[in-house]
Amino acid sequence: MDYGMIGKIEKAKRYAEERERFHFTSFSVDVEGENNQHTVTYDHGVWTCTCSFFASRGRCSHTIALEFILKGMLDEEVAEA
């Protein structure tokens, strides 16, 4: 590996530990639930999930699990609006 890339990997390791540098804006994730697989999407603070619980409550174990995983890397102000 060339010297330039070694430096970039070292920098990447440092960045990866500084979660506040990262701001997810939109993504889609397939979550394997206990019974079925569900698709969660996030778009500028707005969550959706294909499960029936989300349809009636607007929040579910799948979206909350992702909130835990991505803590500090989501647009909190929009998410709480």
Number of residues that bind Zn ion (CB under 5 A): 6
* 74 contacts Zn ion (rule: CB under 5 A): no
- Shortest distance in whole angstroms from residue 18 CB to Zn ion: 30
Evaluate the CA torsion angle 49, 54, 57, 63 in order and state its sign.
negative
Is residue 47 within 8 Å of residue 40, measured between CB atoms? yes
- Closer CB to Zn ion, 13 or 35, in the complex: 35
- Shortest distance in whole angstroms from residue 36 CB to Zn ion: 10
| Residue bearing tokens 């070292």 | 10
* 54 contacts Zn ion (rule: CB under 5 A): yes
Please tell me whether residue 54 adopts helix, strand or coil conformation.
Answer: helix
Report the interface residues with Zn ion, using CB under 5 A: 38, 49, 51, 54, 60, 62
